[in-house]
Amino acid sequence: MRTVYWENGVVKLIDQRRLPAVLEIVSYTDYKKIAVAIKDMVVRGAPAIGATAGFGLALAAFASNSSSRKGLLSDLQAAAEELVSARPTAVNPGWVVNRIMVRVAQDESLGLSETRNLVLQEAQLIADEDVAINLEMAKYGSSLISDGDVIIHHCNTGSLATVDWGTALGAIRMAHEQGKKIHVLVDETRPRLQGSRLTAWELDQYGISYEIISDNMAGYFLRSGNATKVFFGADRVAANGDVANKIGTYMLSLAAKDNNIPVYPVVPTSTIDLSLRDGDQIPLEERDPREVLDISFQGERVAPIEAQARNIAFDITPHRLVTAIVTERGIIHPPFEENLAGVLRNE
C-alpha cells in the first residue's frame, strides 16, 4: 500500500498520527488542507511530503477558476509556496513543486485543461519514480549490511516516509529479504516517537527482528560492542555532506564515530541541495512545545503544568561523522563536496 496516492480527483494519505493503533486512510480535495496535513504530520518523511505536495499542486490546478493560462500559473505558484512552507527543513517539497512548475511552463501552447492534466501527470510520475528510486537505494544500502549485523535506526525511514518501500529502512528490509540475519535497535525518536510508533510497526509487518530503545541508550549499545552499524535518512543534505535529519541524529552519530561504528544516511539525490554550502544554511524547524510537554506516563502528565519547553525538530550531523551516503545512484564516499556534485552532474 502506498503512503500517498491519487484516486478519482482525491489525494489519499495514510494518517501516520493514528499508527500503530489504527491504519486509517484520509482523503483530501483541497490543497490548503494538504498543506495543513503536511504541517500536522498526517504525512511525514521527506520523500512522502514531496509526493504529497505534488498531488496538492494537482488539486490546486483543478480547483483554479482562472480563465487564462497566466492566471492558472499564478494560482499554482501561490499554492506551491504554501505547500513548500508547511515543512521548511525538507528539500523535497520544493524540488517537486519546482519540477512541476518548470514542466508546465515549458509549453506555452497548452490550454487550461491540458495544463491541469499535465500537473497531475507530472505529480504521478514523481510518485512512481520515488518507488523505483527507493528500490535502487535499498539495493545499494543492503550491500553495506552483513549477516549478523545489529543496526541502530533513528526516526522512521520505511514505506511510511516515502511513497513506498523506504530509504534507510528500505535497505534494512532488502537485507532481510536477501536472507541476512539482522537485528534492529529502534530509537524511540522523541518527542513524537516515530521509531516506536512507525518503524516498529513496519518491522512487525516485515518480520524483522527488533527491539525498541530510548534515544539515550544508543551510546551504551555502541560503546559495548552490541551495535555494528547506524542507519538513518535525511530531510536535506548540504553540498559539503552535512546532513539535516530528525533531532537526535547528531548525538547518535557522535557516539558512533567515537566507537568506530559506520554511519550511513540513505537519501534520494533529490534530497541533496547543492545550493547550500553547509549545514548551517539549512533551515531547522521548531515545532509546538506541546509535543514535548504533553507526554504522559501511566496516564499522568510528565512535566509540571507551568513548564516551558523547546522543540527543535531537526539537527545537523556534520559530514565528518558520516561514513558514506547511500543514494539511488550509488554509495558516495568522502570527499563529499566533490563527490556529491559529481553524482548530480551526471544526471
Q: What is the mean pLDDT of residues 184-189?
A: 98
Does residue 76 surpass a pLDDT of 70? Answer: yes
This prediction has a pTM of 0.89
Q: What is the mean pLDDT of residues 214-241?
A: 97
Give percent of the chain above pLDDT 70: 100
Rounded Cα distance between 251 and 237, Å, is: 17
Does residue 296 surpass a pLDDT of 80? Answer: yes
Residue 54 confidence (pLDDT): 95
Domain ranges, ordered by start, for the chain: 4-133, 136-345
Residue 51 has, within 13 A of its CA and on its CB side, a CA count of 29
Question: Is residue 87 a contact partner of residue 313, using CB atoms and an 8 Å limit?
Answer: no
Question: Is residue 77 a contact partner of residue 101, using CB atoms and an 8 Å limit?
Answer: yes
Does residue 346 surpass a pLDDT of 80? Answer: no
* pLDDT digit string, tens, across residues 155-178: 999 999 999 999 999 999 999 999
Does residue 107 surpass a pLDDT of 90? Answer: no
Specify the CATH number of the domain 4-133.
Answer: 1.20.120.420
Catalytic residue at 235?
yes
Question: Is residue 87 a contact partner of residue 284, using CB atoms and an 8 Å limit?
Answer: no
Residue 4 falls in which region: left (phi positive, over 0), alpha (psi -120 to 50) or beta: beta
Q: What is the mean pLDDT of residues 89-93?
A: 78
If pLDDT is split at 50, 70 and 90, which confidence band does 347 have?
low
Going 49 to 52 to 57 to 63, the CA torsion angle's sign is: negative
Rounded Cα distance between 157 and 171, Å, is: 10
Residue 192 confidence (pLDDT): 92
Rounded Cα distance between 291 and 318, Å, is: 26
Question: Is residue 34 a contact partner of residue 28, using CB atoms and an 8 Å limit?
Answer: yes
Give percent of the chain above pLDDT 90: 87
* pLDDT digit string, tens, across residues 28-71: 999 999 999 999 999 988 889 999 999 999 999 999 998 899 99
3-state SS assignment for residue 236: strand
Tell me the three cell numbers of residue 18: 493514528
For the domain made up of 136-345, give the CATH fold.
Rossmann fold (3.40.50)
Q: Which residue is catalytic, options 130, 164, 187, 235?
A: 235
CA distances from 136 to 174, 202, 330 (A): 10, 20, 8
The residues that bridge with 300 in the sheet, in sequence order, are 297
